Each structure stands twice: as C-alpha cells, then as structure tokens.
Amino acid sequence: MKEYKIKLQQKYDAFVVHFSEHMPIAESELHYENSYQLLVAVILSAQCTDKRVNMTTPALFGRFPTPQDMAASTVEEIYTYIKSISYPNNKAKNLLGMAQTLVGDFNGVVPNNLEDLQKLPGVGRKTANVMMAVAFDQPAMPVDTHVFRVSNRIGLTKNSKNVLETEKTLVAHLPKAVISKAHHWLILHGRYVCLARKPKCEDCGIRGICDFYGKTNNTKS
C-alpha cells in the first residue's frame, strides 16, 4: 500500500510538471464578461458543447444583461433565446429560477461560496465548483465527464467510483496552487487528445505515466 501511494504521488507530480510547462495558460472556453454571465453559460453548457453555448449567449446576454432583467422575464421568452441548446425547456426554467433567487436572496450578486451557490436553481456541485474555480479563483475541482474519464484513464483516480470521490482524490493529491488550473488541464486534454472513443495516445505528452497507455502497449506486445 505504501509503495502504491508513492507511485501515485509521483504520477501527480509528473502530471503537474508536464502541464505547467506545456499548458501554462488553461482557461474556460466559455465566453463571459462577469460572474453572472459565467453562471448562465455554465448552466447552459450541461450536456452541450461550449461552442454551441458561445453561439447562443451573445443574444441572450444582449436581452438579459443583468440578473434583474432575466428575473423579470418568463420561461417562454428565455426559451426563445436558448432553443438551440440541449434541454432548453428545463434550462429556461432553471435560468429564470436562478435569476429570481439571485435577485430575491442575494441582491443580484452571485455568491462566492459553495453552499450558497448550490441554493440556486440549476446549480449542482459541479457548476458551483466551476464558479469557485473560474469566477472566484479558488482551489476548487469541478468534475465533469472529461475530468472523470481522463483522471481515471491516466490512473490519477483509478479507484474512484463517482464524481465526488474523484473530486476529493484530485484535491488531496494536487498542490493547492494548481487545483483550479488542473481542472482545465484535464478538460482540455480530454477534449482534444484523450478522446472518449479513440484517444490520441501518439500525441499525448503524458503517456509515460498513463495506466491506459501502459495496459494497451502491454496487451499489444
């Protein structure tokens, strides 16, 4: 057990060294100008591509530049702006509820703590962690499908059975200063290199520490 822990931490250290050198700037690909816009964009991004969200939000933000504007609208009107997004009916309801809660309970200001963020309609732990990491630059680790898949595939969290376990394992082993950036490293690596169906192992700079690559190579040889 002790030997495994040492090897695991060495894997984390190598992961941090590689991405610190090769991806020093790692940011959300969502377009936003303030915490309210980011919150809206993240809610819309659930099971939807960032590219599609970025095509949708300019008109949405133009019509609803503040939480107060959105809170005074209706589900039906919000829907007309986001109908090209996945699950537009539910997301329209969540956006209206989120805006009304922001205005009614938080004076129109997006809260900067995990507990209050999760009181907003449409905001679960992952979305709240995105806000903490991206909007408020806190050491939070949002776990989406990319983070869950890639961290398990590499072997950073190979025994984690769910997203909460994955989050806790990553936070426990990563240096606090890079936790929020590491979330972007894992997402971008999963989006462009470590693809779900056919990972581009030949283009991967961390294949030397990757469990999946090691098992695949052993199987082939």
Residues designated catalytic: 126, 144
210: left (phi over 0), alpha (psi -120 to 50) or beta: beta
Residues 6+ apart with CB under 8 A from 54: 29, 30, 31, 41
Residues 6+ apart with CB under 8 A from 122: 43, 91, 94, 95, 97, 98
Give the span between the Cα atoms of 83 and 209, in whole angstroms.
43
What ranges make up the beta strands (E) of the chain?
none
DSSP 134: I
Q: Residue 64 is which amino acid?
A: F
Output the CA–CA distances (angstroms, integers) from residue 140 to 27, 97, 168, in the order listed: 14, 25, 10
Residues 6+ apart with CB under 8 A from 132: 112, 113, 114, 117, 138, 140, 180
Output the CA–CA distances (angstroms, integers) from residue 212 to 149, 155, 164, 176, in the order listed: 11, 8, 22, 26
Output the CA–CA distances (angstroms, integers) from residue 183 to 119, 176, 219, in the order listed: 23, 12, 30
